[in-house]
Amino acid sequence: MKNLFKIIILSCLFLYSGYSLAQGEKDKVEAIRVNFISEQLKLTTNESEKFWPVYNEYMDKVKAVRKNLRQSYKKAPEELSDKEAEELYQLDLKSKQTEAELYKQYSEKIKVIIGAKKIVKLREAEEEFKRKVMKAIKDKDD
């Protein structure tokens, strides 16, 4: 259980914040991710040219929402006043709602480009990539 928690935390940092990687390493992981997702979805050249700019725009917006939330978590929960905890809780709810709205908005844009079946496959590919990254981190730690 301890290792699973460690893997999840490291993966979140690894995938979303970039703190654990130098820029060159982040670029390399990003290229691997793009290649993996493109292969899983079997994107045509035309689909790929239209899909990636929209998908990257979506991911940039999601990362910005998450970064804003992460920056708000400066204190340990036990150090927060009731008012600060309530504000942080409300920000967390708003962030999740914003992410859901972004998902809906961009899924519609992406559906026009690649179709509904490939959107379903996209979610599977994203999860599979995360699992592979987590496994690589675990294997590296062992």
Give the N- to C-terminal CA distance of the chain in Å, as an integer. Answer: 15
Contact present, 93 and 26 (Cβ < 8 Å): no
Residue entry with tokens 């079997």: 42
Give the model's pLDDT for residue 137. Answer: 79
pLDDT at 17: 47
Tokens read off for 51:
């899909």
Give pTM, 2 decimals: 0.76
In this structure, which amino acid lies at residue 68?
A: N
User: Domain spans of the chain?
Assistant: 2-141
Assess whether pLDDT exceeds 90 at residue 78. Answer: no
